[in-house]
A = this chain, B = another copy of it.
Amino acid sequence: MNIAILFGGSSFEHEISIVSAITMKKVLKRSTLTYIFVSPDRKFYLIDTEKINSKLFSSGEYKKSKELTLKQNGFFIDGMFGSKSVDFDVALNLIHGRDGEDGKISSMMTYFNIPFISPRMEASALSYNKLYTKFLAESLGVKTVAYEYLSKNDERIISMDYPVIIKPVRLGSSIGVSIVKEASELDYALDVAFEFDTDVIVEPFIEGVKEFNQAGAYTNDWELSIVEEPHKEEFLDFEKKYMDFSRDSQVRAADITDTLKEKIQESFKKIYDPLFKGSVIRCDFFVVEDEVLLNEINPIPGSMANYLFEDFESMIERLSKALPTEQKITVDYQYIHSIQSAKGKA
Contact = CB atoms under 8 A, between A and B. Distances in A.
Interface of A: 10-12, 14-16, 18-19, 40-43, 54-55, 57-58, 69-72, 78, 80, 98-99, 102-104, 107-108, 110-113, 121-122, 125-126, 129, 131-132, 135-136, 139, 149, 151, 196, 198, 238-239, 242, 274, 327, 329-331, 333-340, 345
A294 to B, nearest CB: 16
Given A54-B336, A111-B108, A345-B55, A139 B131 contact: yes
A337 B60 CA distance: 12
B126 A42 contact: no
Number of copies: 2
A15 B335 contact: yes
Nearest to A342: B243
16 contacts: A10-B329, A10-B331, A40-B330, A43-B72, A54-B336, A54-B340, A57-B333, A57-B336, A58-B337, A80-B80, A104-B107, A107-B108, A122-B129, A135-B135, A239-B335, A242-B339
Contact of A78 (B15, B78, B335): B78
A113 B107 CA distance: 15
A289 B111 CA distance: 44
Given A135-B135, A329-B12, A42 B72 contact: yes
A104 B99 contact: no
A76 B136 CA distance: 39
Given A103-B121, A129-B122, A242 B335 contact: yes
A169 to B, nearest CB: 10
Contacts of A103: 103, 107, 121, 125
A72 B45 CA distance: 13
Contacts of A329: 10-12, 14, 40, 98
A166 B19 CA distance: 48
Contacts of A337: 58
Contact of A331 (B14, B54, B340, B345): B14
Nearest to A80: B80
A44 to B, nearest CB: 10
Given A58-B336, A103-B125, A132-B132, 9 more contacts: A10-B329, A14-B329, A70-B70, A102-B121, A103-B103, A104-B121, A108-B111, A121-B121, A122-B125
Q: Which of A80, A98, A122 has the most CB of B within 10 A?
A: A122
Given A15-B335, A42-B112, A331-B15, A132 B126 contact: yes
Contacts of A10: 329, 331
A198 B274 contact: yes
Q: Which 4 pairs show the lowest CB-CB distances between chains A and B?
A: A125-B125, A107-B107, A58-B333, A135-B135
Nearest to A8: B331
A104 B110 contact: yes
A176 to B, nearest CB: 12
B331 A40 contact: yes
A268 B187 CA distance: 31
Contacts of A327: 196
